């Protein structure tokens, strides 16, 4: 089986437009979330990780971000490859502004046209796990030789439907996201466009070793312990790895009182000794369908440049796990997990080449 290389990456998020700019912002201490006001008696003011991009026209802004991020990942080299767009909200922000109609295919066609894409295009929507499920589809296409190059494009842009829905479900914090924190009280959402270029031709530092997605209907809006455990077991088996071969886990941990506890319990079930953990959601918010790609793009950059998030809050000791305060010394293989609506639990394993 040919190795699957992470041949390129691109990112636009609240930390900046481009991986390097995001890492530079992180070195300087990160970026403050802005605030969004939602309508209604039960609503109000919520923090939100918006991108530093001034364009006001939704489609123009989206086009610039998609082109910029895809170019950063080297998409222009593989326009006849497979494009997997991962999103939970499509272009609903444009629909809200009356700038377009709801149409899945038109959304896919629009993005393909922005990129002059000539190869097959698929739109993966499994809520928050969309990017990781796109990675699993890409892995299958590459392993079976059905493609030599795949671009994963996570797209999650400003819209009120997602914010309003999460507010209505009382899942949002009104202050800050505190993953695995003792005083965690909810999620902070963010927007991101992220690209991962996978290739069996172009060698690169990081390789996709395997992964798994487990849907469990027990909790349609949250995680289940047994599914987190099963996800880890299946992902390890798919990657040919053992629990003690994982040097770091990028957890979902978004600051949800219930879900963070479930994830911690699931990790304790899957790992005799839980590896060092990292959460990136305090830095960029929960970027929904783009989060898997965005967090992998950011994490690989952090690992390469020895940058580590600072968590300025108390961890919840009752969880039995904690986020690593400093960067682990040698990360050869890491697991990246996202849990989401639809009972979806997804994880991929990336390993550093020699």
Partner 1 sequence: MKTFAIQGRCLAAPPDWRERLAAMLGAKPRRIGNWAELGLYGALCCLADAGETALPPDALLMLGSRRGTYVPTGQVLDQMRDDLPMPLMFLQTQPSQLLALLAARMHWRGHAAFIAGGSPQALLELAAVQSGSAGALLGWVDEMDGGSTQWLRLKPCEVGGNEWKPAAAEALFMPDITHLRTAGNILDNTD
Binding residues for partner 1, rule: CB under 8 A, are: 38-43, 88, 90, 92, 95-96, 102-105, 107-108, 120-127, 133, 136-137, 140-141, 143-144, 146, 160-161, 164-165, 167-169, 212-218, 220-221, 226-227, 230, 340-344
Q: What is the CB neighbour count within 10 angstroms for residue 51?
A: 23
Q: How far is the CB of 233 from partner 1 (least distance, A)?
A: 11
Q: How far is the CB of 312 from partner 1 (least distance, A)?
A: 30
Nearer to partner 1 among residue 29 and residue 40 (C-beta): 40
Q: How far is the CB of 139 from partner 1 (least distance, A)?
A: 9
Nearer to partner 1 among residue 96 and residue 202 (C-beta): 96
Nearer to partner 1 among residue 167 and residue 277 (C-beta): 167
Nearer to partner 1 among residue 1 and residue 42 (C-beta): 42
Nearest by Cα to 260 from 175, 148, 183: 183
Q: How far is the CB of 85 from partner 1 (least distance, A)?
A: 9
Q: How far is the CB of 79 from partner 1 (least distance, A)?
A: 18
CA distance 328 to 337: 18
98: Cβ–Cβ under 8 A, 6 or more apart, which residues?
A: none
Q: How far is the CB of 340 from partner 1 (least distance, A)?
A: 7
Nearer to partner 1 among residue 193 and residue 228 (C-beta): 228
Nearer to partner 1 among residue 38 and residue 204 (C-beta): 38
How far CA 73 is from CA of 194, 242, 335, in Å, comes to: 9, 30, 21
Is residue 193 within 8 Å of 284, Cβ to Cβ? no
* DSSP code, position 126: B
Could you give the maximum distance between any two Cα atoms of the chain, in Å? 57
CA–chain centroid gap for 13, Å, is 11
Nearest by Cα to 73 from 290, 334, 297: 297
Nearer to partner 1 among residue 224 and residue 279 (C-beta): 224
Q: How far is the CB of 180 from partner 1 (least distance, A)?
A: 25
Q: What is the CB neighbour count within 10 angstroms for residue 260?
A: 25
Q: How far is the CB of 142 from partner 1 (least distance, A)?
A: 9
Tokens 């999620």, residue located: 187
Nearer to partner 1 among residue 90 and residue 271 (C-beta): 90
Q: Tell me the Cα Rg of the chain.
A: 19
13: Cβ–Cβ under 8 A, 6 or more apart, which residues?
A: 22, 49, 51, 190, 191, 192, 193, 194, 284, 287, 294, 298
């Amino acid at each position: 089986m040919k190795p699957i290389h992470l041949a390129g990456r691109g990112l636009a998020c609240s930390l900046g437009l481009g991986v390097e700019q995001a890492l530079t912002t992180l070195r300087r201490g990160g970026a403050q979330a802005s605030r969004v006001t939602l309508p209604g008696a039960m609503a109000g003011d919520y923090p939100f990780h918006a991108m530093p991009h001034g364009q006001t026209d939704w489609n123009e802004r989206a086009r610039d971000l998609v082109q910029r991020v895809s170019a950063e990942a080297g998409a222009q080299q593989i326009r006849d490859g497979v494009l997997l767009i991962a999103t939970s909200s499509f272009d609903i922000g444009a629909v809200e502004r009356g700038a377009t109609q709801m149409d899945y295919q038109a959304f896919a066609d629009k993005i393909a046209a922005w990129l002059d894409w000539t190869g097959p295009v698929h739109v993966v929507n499994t809520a928050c796990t969309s990017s990781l499920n796109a990675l699993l589809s890409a892995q299958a296409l590459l392993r079976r030789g059905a493609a030599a190059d795949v671009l994963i494009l996570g797209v999650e842009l400003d819209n009120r439907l997602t914010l309003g829905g999460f507010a209505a479900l009382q899942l949002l914090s009104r202050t800050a996201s505190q993953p695995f924190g003792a005083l965690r009280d909810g999620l902070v959402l963010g927007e991101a466009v992220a690209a991962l270029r996978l290739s069996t031709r172009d060698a690169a530092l990081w390789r996709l070793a395997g992964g798994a997605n487990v849907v469990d209907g027990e909790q349609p809006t949250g995680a289940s312990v047994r599914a987190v455990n099963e996800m880890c077991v299946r992902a390890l088996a798919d990657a040919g790895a053992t629990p003690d071969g994982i040097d770091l886990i990028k957890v979902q941990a978004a600051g949800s009182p219930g879900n963070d506890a479930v994830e911690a319990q699931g990790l304790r079930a899957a790992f005799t000794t839980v590896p060092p953990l990292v959460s990136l959601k305090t830095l960029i918010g929960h970027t929904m369908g783009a989060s898997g790609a965005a967090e992998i793009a950011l994490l690989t950059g952090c690992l390469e440049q020895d940058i580590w998030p600072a968590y300025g809050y108390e961890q919840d000791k009752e969880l039995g796990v904690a986020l690593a305060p400093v960067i682990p010394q040698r990360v050869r293989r890491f697991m990246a997990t996202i849990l989401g609506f639809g009972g979806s639990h997804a994880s991929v394993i990336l390993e550093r080449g020699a």
